[in-house]
Chain A
């Protein structure tokens, strides 16, 4: 079975302020439907790895395959398309567009993809919001809802294009334990019910323990 995401010998250097070897020969695999967490101390390079895996950072050496397709050879525009279509993001700080309504925030990536008509997208977005328990908030402005709700909305946005992978950078880092628990359960449910692969960077050991597999990193290598 082809892994949904695979890296082969990824190396990354920071040039500024001094030459620093951040990632050393990282080779990992993520299977379809797997829920994997990446743990490690601050500065071990786990976030750096995450942004390489998310295709936003292209300054690295080595090979990255997503859904069997090699990423390192694609142009920035093609990578944007891949992110749009195959990857969903959940960040620590929610990152919703504050002027837009909750519903519109969820709709935007799908509108960009342009696969469905606006009406279909609107219904889909509402469906996702309801699935995540924030359906009643859909017409509020994104800046007017609480932190826990924002995180749910951003998960709904990550799901709107039915991606293969969801990548999270400390998705529960900013939430209290109750909300954190809720978000974990939602993510878990996604991987078991819909078969989406999840790759999440976290500091939270309790969170990590409940995932299928933990990738532990230290000083730029996978331990």
Chain B
């Protein structure tokens, strides 16, 4: 029997003889790890859901024209001398069109770029929705619906009707859920739309669009690109926005800077646009870790306590083991092994508990107006959490066992045997 197997064998007998205490110690670890798994799974599931809610739909880079005052005024170019103080009152931004300059060539250029997964043009027009005497202001976006579905999961947000109706019929509209409710319209009905230049269009409702964000659903509707251009009364090269999806979201910042540098357009990357989501995710993750680590520390103290008591009870055994030829190291490892067994058993039970409760949460119905695509609570089953969990369990029990084990290692058998 090799040294380690012998130590393991003695550990097993010791632990089994104190089954109650062992169980309590292991359960401490179980709850710590279980909670860690549940919290991480649930929190990350929630994070992914919220990120998905925004990021799936949000393009990685948005290109548009921005109304802003000229940064460098003419006078500064002409007389920018250190002893001059040029001051211009009431600077007004230069008036410019909404449309992106050279939009279509830019679009086809972007589509060829190796880092770009896809790019879609959009034409936004401000309109009024008419129903009888009701007039609701809103925005209609002209989109290439097939590309939107491919790149931005557009289909997920059509709760009723058919997303492809835009392609089938030119005067079809995907009406915002909020507007549909306010005007009590349903799929197949017609809605009158009044454009800013006074023309009225009758559009057939092909579907209902619900993003989950009320302020969007109350104003936004979608039509085909051509229809939007017709409402605006402009030619087919009139594009107000270009949405870009990259293969790698991390490339968004450098790419957007590059586009701004090369073209006369404003580029907004997803990181800047949604900075608060990253912060929120980070803080939620931090909280999960803080709670789990606290639980594990508590479990660790439990193990420390139990092993400490155990060592006091087992003074005689330690003395006799040492007298019959076991070294201090053997005795130290005897107790560390016991701590690790508690950690391993408790840890695996914790993983099982965490997985079980995660499954339960995952199957709990969760229906909310705001999130049409979600039917149950979100859970993330990332194996990394399970691996981290078991490492946590072993590390914390090792530490909790190490100190008492060191004490046992140093026990002088003569003192114990003579002390009787």
Interface residues of A (CB under 8 A from B): 47, 51, 54, 56-57, 76-77, 80-81, 83-85, 89, 91-93, 95-100, 104, 108-109, 111-114, 117-118, 157, 161, 169
Whether the Cβ atoms of A99 and B13 lie closer than 8 Å is yes
Chain B residue, CB-CB nearest to A107: B1
Query: Among B315-323, B344-352, B383-391, which stretch is in contact with chain A?
Result: B315-323
Q: Which residues of B contact A96 (CB under 8 A)?
A: 320
A161: chain B residues at CB < 8 Å are 325
On whether A89 and B323 interact (CB within 8 A), knowing A47-B418, A97-B317, A112-B6, the answer reads yes
The one of A57, A84, A114, A157 that contacts B414, using a Cβ cutoff of 8 Å? A57
Beyond A95-B417, A112-B6, whether A89 also contacts B324 by CB under 8 A is: yes
Q: Are B414 and A56 in contact (CB under 8 A)?
A: yes
Identify A111's interface contact among B6, B417, B420, CB under 8 A.
B6
B319 near A77 with CB under 8 A, answer no
| Subset of 16 A-B contacts with CB under 8 Å | A51-B414, A51-B417, A56-B413, A77-B329, A80-B326, A83-B325, A84-B324, A84-B326, A93-B420, A95-B316, A95-B320, A95-B417, A111-B9, A114-B1, A118-B1, A161-B325
In the complex, which residues of chain A have a beta carbon less than 8 angstroms from the beta carbon of B316?
95
The residue of chain B having its C-beta at the shortest distance from the C-beta of A108 within the complex is: B324
Q: Which residue of A lies closest to B320 (CB)?
A: A95
- Least CB distance from B414 to A in Å reads 5
**In the complex, B101 has a CB within 8 A of chain A:** no
CB-CB under 8 A from A104, the residues of chain B are 13
Q: B1-23: which residues lie under 8 A (CB-CB) from chain A? A: 1-3, 6, 9-10, 13-14, 16-17
Contacts of B319 in A (CB 8 A): 95
User: Which of A81, A96, A99, A109 counts the most chain B CB atoms within 10 A?
Assistant: A99
Contacts of B9 in A (CB 8 A): 111
Residues of A within 8 A of B326 (CB): 80, 84, 112
Q: Output the least CB separation between B4 and chain A (Å).
A: 11
Which chain A positions have C-beta within 8 A of B414? 51, 56-57
CB nearest neighbor in B for A95: B320
- A77 near B317 with CB under 8 A, answer no
Which residue of A is nearest B420, CB measured? A93
Nearest 4 pairs between A and B by C-beta? A84-B325, A99-B17, A80-B327, A109-B324
